[in-house]
Amino acid sequence: MRPNNLCCPHIMPRAMPYMSLPHSFTSLVLFCLLAGCAIKEGPDSVQTTDSLFDPEPSAVADKEPSASLTKSPQRLTKSPQRPPSAPIKSPQLPIKSPQRLNEPAAAHKEPSASHKEPSAQDSNMVQTNLWQRMRDGFRLSHETDRKRVMDELKWYVNHPEYVERVTKRAAPHLHYIIEELEKRGLPLEFALLPIVESAYDPFAYSHSRAAGLWQFIPGTARVYGLKIDWWYDGRRDVRASTKAAIDYLEYLHNMLGEDWLLALAAYNAGQGNVLSSIRASKLPEDEVNFWSLKVFRETYTYVPRLLAISELINHPDRYHMTLPDVANKPYWEVVETMGQLDLNKAAELADVSSKEIYLLNAGFNQWATHPDGPHELIIPVGKADVFRERVLELPPTERLAWQRHKVSYGESLGTIANKYRTTVDTIRSANNIRGNLIRAGESLMIPAASPDADYAMSQSSRLATKQQTLETRYGSEPIVYIVKFGDSFWEIAHKFDVGMRELAKWNGMGTTGLLHPGTELKIFKKTNNTNNTNNTNNTQTIAQSVGQRANQVRKLNYRVRKGESLSLIASKFNISVQSIKSWNDALNVKKYIHPGDRLTLYVDVTRLIN
């Protein structure tokens, strides 16, 4: 479980000890003169074992969000004492510059020696190149003499396709994040922190319930003003979450002696755990730094990972890395919508795909913007003017699709809201209803998703994607059952020998909701042979998925904690015990789970708002 509930989950490659350079700068200079080489910042020829940075599940998962976002068990790891004059041994990296010695690593708070006053040529480059603008704002020493940093750096160098993928994914938001960091005076290395946190995937979700680019958990998110409800999750909103992350980092920086590396450690492990590590170290205040503390195994590699990707961005040529071109100008701007707006209609007005609208405005859970506002959308700069003009001319009746519903005997606002995938407050507002009283026979206007539109990441599409995933996991097509008058979840679950709670969740419903005659339910069961499939040909169907994507479903590699049960884990991630068993065949032959066991989970991140 996440320490202090105030950190962001990660997965790490195996923690490695480090060795040191000579602590005496004079000795280093003499050694350099004898060796006929110059002093420089950055890695040199190094040695390592073949297994170092092998893409084991924990290492690859953190760096590729479509893989499992796993967290290793919380274990304290202490940096070994560094020999006073032992030369560093680090992984072999391809470096274009001549082989030189590294600088001492004492002053991790000082700016890197490679930072200098920009020349006129540099200034021209900054005007057009966002990477150069970022480099000019780097203020952390990247500690490339430390083995932990070099281990992480070697992983990035050996996976150029990953670096290209995440930097391209970051491109639309980098300009905004860099500007916000500059306004607040933070090191621009933090613009790369979402690479470590989420691989710049706004739909990234971890087993600790952290979500978004900056991986906020619900508790911390609410402390820093991020709203989370049925319509919207501020953790996935790039503007709101970036502001909250900067606020949090500034707070940690001020609390921890204005040490940015300690602030980073606390962002990951929780401020309480870092303070405990400081107290346990019993070091004088002026000797406390990240490298001297016992920290959780995850945090042991978290800070080096940010320093490593920062070093790579700072010197891509040195490591034979090519970065994608990113212009030093905004990719998007914020446009007022003057009220709630269907996201598919917004895409139509802006002449972009609904996919792009959802990716730029990932905070929206549903098919429309939040009815309570703020009424604004992020639109690509080149489309903003035409969108602004068209939304002003849009008639109020075309902002949303509407459906007329005739109230039946026994219906309530809650059951109607569930049926149309909306909220009671939305129905009240649309029909000027005060309270909860409605009468059979009256008609209600329900704002709902347009029946002809493709909402690639709306709730209904997410449900279909989830059902597709279940179909793959169970290895068979779902049974389709049409609800009859008098049916209940319990009776249907009993008839098909499945759990009642599982049945409801498979269909995006709650067990306390009412079932209406004619409702289609999908039931997932494993089949052992083809005969079972042949016997149910008339009742099975494939979940429709035209135009739908699986971006919101994340695979988690979860490690069981002490005191946890399958029921507790299922409740934590809003999934069913039966689903967990279906994804993990080993559970079918063992009676109990134990701390340290690993479970594969498939989670729809946009349905978890608690």
DSSP reduced 3-state for 260: helix
- Contact residues for 393 (Cβ-Cβ < 8 A; gap 6+): none
CB of 565 within 8 A of CB of 593?
Answer: yes
Checking phi first, is residue 55 left (phi over 0); if not, alpha (psi -120 to 50) or beta? beta
Angstrom distance (rounded) from CA 521 to CA 182: 52
Does the CA dihedral 448-451-455-461 come out positive or negative?
positive
DSSP reduced 3-state for 193: helix
Query: How many Å is the maximal CA-CA distance in the chain?
Result: 96
Angstrom distance (rounded) from CA 48 to CA 233: 44
Angstrom distance (rounded) from CA 115 to CA 252: 25
Q: What angle do CA 470, 230, 548 make, to 5 degrees?
A: 40
Q: What angle do CA 38, 42, 46 make, to 5 degrees?
A: 90
Helix residue ranges, H only, 40-119: 57-63
E strands, 221-323, in order: 294-296
CB of 65 within 8 A of CB of 199?
Answer: yes
DSSP sequence for 344-410: HHHHHHHTS-HHHHHHHTTTB-SSB--TTS--EEEEEHHHHHHHHHHHHH--GGGSSEEEEEEPPTT
Q: Output the CA torsion 458→463→465→467 (10° steps).
A: -170
DSSP sequence for 462-508: HHHHHHHHHHHHHTSPPEEEE--TT--HHHHHHHHT--HHHHHHHTT
Catalytic residues: 197
Beta strands 479-482 and 443-448 are unpaired
| Residue 372 CB burial class (10 angstroms; 0-12, 13-18, ≥19) | middle
Angstrom distance (rounded) from CA 240 to CA 180: 11
